[in-house]
Structures are given as C-alpha cells and as structure tokens.
Chains A and B, each alone.
Chain A
Amino acid sequence: MIPELGHFSLIIALFMAMSLGVLPILGAARNSRVLMGVARPLAYGQFVFIALAFGVLAHAFLSNDFSVLYVAQHSNSQLPGQYRFAAIWGGHEGSLLLWALLLSVWAASVATFSRHLPEEMVARVLGVMGLIEAGFLLFMLLTSNPFTRLLPAAADGADLNPLLQDPGLVIHPPMLYMGYVGFSVAYAFAISALLGGKLDATWARWSRPWTTVAWVFMTIGIALGSGWAYYELGWGGWWFWDPVENASFMPWLLGTALIHSLAVTEKRGAFKSWTVLLAIGAFSLSLLGTFLVRSGVLTSVHSFASDPKRGIFILGFLVVVIGASLLLFAWRAPKVGLGGKFDMLSRESLLLSNNVLLSVASASVFIGTLYPLFMDALGYGKLSVGAPYFQAVFVPLMVPMVFMMGLGPLARWKKMAVPDLASRVKWGFASALVIALLLPFLMGKFLSQESSKWSPLVALGLLMSFWIIASLIISLKQRLSGEGDLAQRLRRQSLSYYGMQLAHLGVAVFIIGVTLVKGYETERDVRMNVGDTIVAGGYEFRFNGVTQVPGPNYVAGEGSVTVHRDGHLVADLHPEKRVYNVSGMPLTEASIQPGLFRDLYVSLGEPIPESEGAWAVRIYIKPFVDWIWAGCLMMALGGVLSISDRRYRIHQKATARASAEPVVSNLQGQAS
C-alpha cells in the first residue's frame, strides 16, 4: 500500500507542476495578481509531494520491500544500510526521482529567497521551473515509474552493482544533480526575462548568485566523481573522457563561461543576448547529458539500461524545451539593447574572450563526444573518439585561457592601457617563466626519482600555474598598498574579490596537480611473494601477504603492504580484492595513503598461480595528485565566498535601487 502512496504523490505533484507551469505565466502576461500569487504555494506543494514520494521509495529500500520492482533490481537484504539508502539513485528510475526532487528543492528555494523580486518575475521563473518539473514527472510516470510492483515479490533483491557500493554513491550523484538541476534557475531567469522583455542588468544581478551556487555544486559533484573513479577503479586515473563524464563537463564549462559573462552583463549591461544564450545553453547541455546517459545512443561505462521508448520521450522533451527557448531567443533577443560602453581592451573584453575559449572548449568536448554518432548516422561507419583526442585539443585551448585569466583581474573595467598593464605584469610573468623552467630540474630530486627529466609539457603546466599565482600576488599588492593598517585594508576588499582570486588560485593548484602527476608518477606492476620488497620513488614497499576477511556482504582478500622510507614506517596499506556474495562480482579496492606532496597507491592484481601466496601488485606513487581535487575545492569555495558578498545579500533596498537604475553599476565599475 505504501508504494502506491508514493505513486499517487507523484501524480499529485505532476498536476501541481502543470498548474505551476501554466497559471503564473498566464498571470504575468495578463497582469493578474491572483494567478501570479499561486506560484509560491504550488512550488512548495510540488516539493512536498515529490519529497513524500522520495520518502516512500526510501522506506521501500530501507525496509527491503522487494515487491517493488525497482528495489528488487537494485538492492539486497545483505546490502549495508547506507548503500540501501543511496541505492535509491543507483538506477534509472530512482535517479530521475532524485533529479525531480532536487528540481523542486531549487524551485522552493527560489520561492523563498525571492521576496524582493517583482511579482511577475517570480511568477515567470517559477512557472518555467514548473514546466520543466512537469516534463520530468511525466517522463517518470509514463516510462520509468520507480513504484512499479513486482508480483509475486522477489524473495531477495538482485543487489546493487558492487562498483556503486561506495561512499561515493552516497554523495556524488546528489551533488552533481544539484549542479545540473541548479542551472535550471539561471535558465528560468533567462526565459522569464525574454518573456517579459526586460532583459537588463538587474536580471543579471538576480540570476548571478543562483548560477554561482549551481556551479559550486557542480564543481564539487564532478570533483567527487573524479576522486571516486581514482580510488575505485584501481589504476589511479582520475578523468577518462568517458561520454558521461563529458556530459557533466560540457555544462560545467558553459556554466563557467556564464558566470563570467553575467559579470559583464551586470556591470555593463552588455552582451545580454549572449549571456542569455549561455544560460539557455548550460541548462540545455544538462538536459542533453540526461539524454545521452539514458537513451543508449553512446557507449559508456555509466550508462543506464537503455530503452528506446525512454530515448524518444527525452528527445521529444529536449526538442520542446530547448527548441522553444531558442525560438523565444530568436524572437526576442534582437530587440535587446547594447548596454554601456567599454573599450576593445578592458576587463570586459578579457572576460568575453574567456567566454569564447570556454564555449569553444565546451563545443569541442561536445563534438568529440557525439562525433561517432554523427558519422554513424551519416553512414560513414563507426569510429571512436577517446582520451587522446580530448587531450590533444584541450591543451591548446587552455593555454590562452589561463594567460587571460592572469590578466583579467589586473585589467581595469571599461578601459585598460596595454603598456601600463604590461609593465605591471612583466616581473610576474618573468618570475613564473623562470620557476617553470627551473623547477622541473629540482622536482626529480624532490620526488626521489632516478631520472629528473625535463619535459616541455611539465614546464608549460608550471608556467600556467605560476602565472596565475604571480598575477594574484600583483593584484593583492596593488589593492593593499597604501597608508595605514594592513588588516583594515584586507577587510576592505570585497568578499567577491577574494572569492574570485581563490577560485583562480584553485585553477592554478589544479594545473599543478595535473601537470606533476602526469609528469612524475611512478608505476610498478610487480609480482610479490610474501616478504618481498620493492623500492620505488624512494619508498620501500613490503608485501606481507593476503588474508581472507569477511565484509558485510562480500568476502575480501585483504593484502598487507607496509611502506618504509629511510627506515621509518610511513604507511600500512590494506588493498582488497573483494568478491560480492550476491552477484559474485570481483572488485578491486585500492588502498591509498594520501599526502600533500604524493599519494602512495597500492592495488591488488591477481594471485599468481602455483605459488605460495604470491600476488600481482600494482604500486603507484602519484605526486601532487590531491592538488587536483584541492584545486576544485578551492574553486568551489571561491564561488561560495563570492556569493556571500553583501551585495548579493537579500536586502530589499539594494536590489530595488539596482532595478530602478541599472546605470549605477556603470559607476561602480568606474569607481573600482
């Protein structure tokens, strides 16, 4: 009976979402307060009912109700509690429900934090979000109902894919989906601005914090997924350019462009139609990602079981949502004004060239991901596009971007004098260059490697990172110079300034991680008898054999590897080779000792046949690899800092003033 309650709640939520999608938008068009007034209650209502449905599914999982087909397919009575909960989104139907739930969370947040916005704006934004929600609920109810019963009930479930039985599953999908879905807010703001014909700087100011929050979630979500792959897949890679990874990377790149473009639009009221297009594009790519993952058009390790019916539905939905918004764009965007003045060379133009690079990067990932599909559809046969292509294309796009990332924060709004800027950065650039050329020589020694090879790619990576760091130092010096108390001057800088710099520093840290792990990682694939040792990168690894250890729903062969450096014990690692009871699927669980400057990473291969307890063991020393995720975290924190800035705090006066006089922002630009 309880699962039917969940089903029923989804139906009620669908009707609420449909009403939300129609009435307030109609109300805004007819200027009817009553119709616009239903927007908030309906947004809360759909949230309550979807949350109810989600709770019902959670209950079915936690109580092992195998009469629900979805539970029977994705859980098992032996599955530990936290994974039984996370298994809710371990498959297609439940992850859709999570998606719908998070969308309603965003809509409810918009309803709550929009008291200062004009009523018709709120009505339109919530209305657009309601339409999207209705589409997803309809999709779920027609093709992917998580509450479908299995009669007779299964005695036990088929178990969750062992690869997913990991803390990563608990946190990665919700974070990533928060990002994906969060771009719907920026999208809804853009659409309602187009609908209302009021595409001005205030629109940019309102949607900026929402976009940044979504971007923060997405950054964290992608980083978590990458970290999960790093320790779970057993060979220490952290990004594979798999179509599904690309599906999350494309909207992230475009979202990053959007954040920067919104800055120009807010400051200068310029390039509004471009910014609107980016807002539509970022969310469209989120939707497209859903399509790619769930329709089976591309091969991927992540893809859900495909069903052509679902593919058709999502494609239809894509065409309606994206097609309609692009049509609206083609109709309304030409009437958008030009905005304030700025020079060919100014912070604005640098931000916009960053936009060009990020959009091209996003489009390149898009083309690489879908090219096999295009070729096949055109009858040219099959081909594959993988990591080598993306790496070859990405580096040349990132180099100019990072160069401009260093210049951007130093350049003045509206107009910059090239000689002045050049003289300010020349020492910074020179020092970055010297460090980049010399550091690789020291690196080999520092990482105790046999050969301290110098490679141009490592030098290039370091140059990019230290260029960002140098520009940050120059910018800080410039801002903090002057008379008086340093602490006071530090306090006087806005949080959004610190946020921006922290995020950029995150990029530098990220590049250092990528560069050094690529350039200096040590990998050994060895056969180890009990008691054998091997020295790699200055560490001595000793293999103490494998013992059988029972886990909650698996049996693990747990290896013991002790690591010494200069006679001191530095790590006691326990890599596992698990066999899951229900599926019989083997899984390699690597053991990692993370460190600021290197990770020690050990994973078990196969036992060596006809030996006494010998195993194939993979040993990696990965210098600076954690900097990759530390960088991502810094980017996300930078985002959080910048939205904590007081100008985005919800106080009525500031925004009312801003909406009355978008010109004010021009002045601020000048003042800073």
Chain B
Amino acid sequence: MRYFLIGLFCLLPSLSFAAVAKDIADDPVLEARMIHLAEKVRCLVCQSEPVSTSHSEWSQDVRNIMREKMKEGATDQQILDMLVARFGKSVLYDPPVDNETAPLWGAPFVMLFLGGALLIYQLKKRRGKVVDATLTAQDEQRAAELLNEPSSKDHQA
C-alpha cells in the first residue's frame, strides 16, 4: 500500500499538467463516415491507393470537400455522384452495378454455379463409367497386394 502511494505521488506531477488530447476532427462521427466513404474513392494522383489513406494533396482536398458536403447534408451517394461527374467513373473503387460492370459482379457467382454444376456432372458421369468389371479384376490384384505387402499400412493418410 505504501509503495502504491509512493508510485501515485510520482505520477502526480506529470498528471497535474496533462490535458486530454483532442481529436483532430471537429466531429469524430462525421470523420468516421467520411473515412468510410473515402475508402471507396481512388486517389487519382497516387498509383493505387484509396483517398482515405493517401497523403497526396489532391486526396486531402477531396477529404475536405467530402467533409464540407457532409456538413451541408449531402448523402454519400450524392458525394460519389459529384466526384464521378468531375473525375469520371474510375475514381470509384467500388464500381456500381451497371451494364459495363455486370460481368465483373456476376462472374464469380456464374463461375461458382458453372463449376459446381460441372463437378456434379462429372461425378455422375464417373459413377456411370467407373463401375464395371475391370474394377473387380483390380480388386483381386489389390487383395493380392495386400497379402504380400503388410507394410503398406505405413502409407495411410
């Protein structure tokens, strides 16, 4: 207890002039919303980075404008639209689904469907083909192998 108090006193002088740090942003909630939106915007000056993390001056400008528009009550979509109107669709990292991007968004799921269907088809086809007499011949051979090779158990998975 005594040591604890000594420790506490040691801390006191430093605590006495310590202030609580302020957020850089005036409005942390709005800032969080802005950063979240800026993650979807590509920094055009950088090679491959979202506006949310880029240090470039252009990205800082965009972040400022986003803050301003948000304070004015603009929706996220309105802000994105505004950016697209000025800089074109390539500012969006999250391309909206439209005619041009339908293959992009659809491809994974179409491929998944086709892949699954193909696998089931192949498995069914195999089932029809593999079951035949040759297998019993192989079975015999295998049985012989088993008897001759007791050590083959070593190879178990």
- Direct touching of A and B (C-beta under 8 Å): yes
| Across-interface contacts of B40 in A (CB, < 8 A) | 386, 388
B154 & A647 in contact (Cβ 8 Å cutoff) = yes
Q: Is A165 an interface residue (CB 8 A)?
A: no
Interface of A is mostly: mixed
Q: Is B86 an interface residue (CB 8 A)?
A: no
| Across-interface contacts of B91 in A (CB, < 8 A) | 384
Q: Is B77 an interface residue (CB 8 A)?
A: no
Interface of B is mostly: helix
Q: Is A115 an interface residue (CB 8 A)?
A: no
B93 & A664 in contact (Cβ 8 Å cutoff) = no
CB distance from B108 to the nearest CB of A (A): 4
Q: Is A313 an interface residue (CB 8 A)?
A: no
Q: Is B89 an interface residue (CB 8 A)?
A: yes
| Across-interface contacts of A4 in B (CB, < 8 A) | none
Q: Is A34 an interface residue (CB 8 A)?
A: no
Q: Is A476 an interface residue (CB 8 A)?
A: no
Q: Is A661 an interface residue (CB 8 A)?
A: yes
Instruction: Return the contact of A672 from the options B53, B100, B156 (Cβ within 8 A).
Output: B156
B48 & A385 in contact (Cβ 8 Å cutoff) = no
Given A384-B93, A664-B149, check contact A494 B24 (CB 8 Å): no
| Across-interface contacts of B145 in A (CB, < 8 A) | 661, 663-664, 667
Given A341-B131, A368-B104, A382-B90, check contact A526 B124 (CB 8 Å): no
Given A301-B49, A616-B24, check contact A383 B92 (CB 8 Å): yes
Given A383-B101, A384-B93, A647-B155, check contact A528 B21 (CB 8 Å): yes
CB within 8 Å of B: which A20-41 residues: none
Instruction: Return the contact of A360 from the options B47, B115, B146 (Cβ within 8 A).
Output: B115
CB distance from B8 to the nearest CB of A (A): 8
Given A235-B53, A385-B95, A388-B94, check contact A664 B21 (CB 8 Å): no
CB distance from A490 to the nearest CB of B (A): 15
Q: Is A59 an interface residue (CB 8 A)?
A: no
| Across-interface contacts of A669 in B (CB, < 8 A) | 157
Instruction: Return the contact of A497 from the options B14, B112, B122, B157 (Cβ within 8 A).
Output: B157
Instruction: Return the contact of A364 from the options B107, B118, B130, B138 (Cβ within 8 A).
Output: B107
CB within 8 Å of A: which B126-154 residues: 126-127, 129-131, 135, 138, 141-142, 145-146, 149, 152-154
Given A243-B48, A344-B123, A527-B24, check contact A384 B90 (CB 8 Å): yes
Instruction: Return the contact of B92 from the options A357, A384, A496, A534 (Cβ within 8 A).
Output: A384
Given A300-B47, A388-B94, A397-B108, check contact A617 B149 (CB 8 Å): no
Q: Is A380 an interface residue (CB 8 A)?
A: yes
B94 & A360 in contact (Cβ 8 Å cutoff) = no
B95 & A360 in contact (Cβ 8 Å cutoff) = no
CB distance from B118 to the nearest CB of A (A): 8
| Across-interface contacts of A356 in B (CB, < 8 A) | 112, 115-116, 118-119
| Across-interface contacts of A338 in B (CB, < 8 A) | 126, 129-130
| Across-interface contacts of B76 in A (CB, < 8 A) | none
Measured CA separation A367–B120 after assembly (Å): 24
Specify the chain B residue showing the minimal Cβ separation from A365. B108
| Across-interface contacts of B20 in A (CB, < 8 A) | 532-535
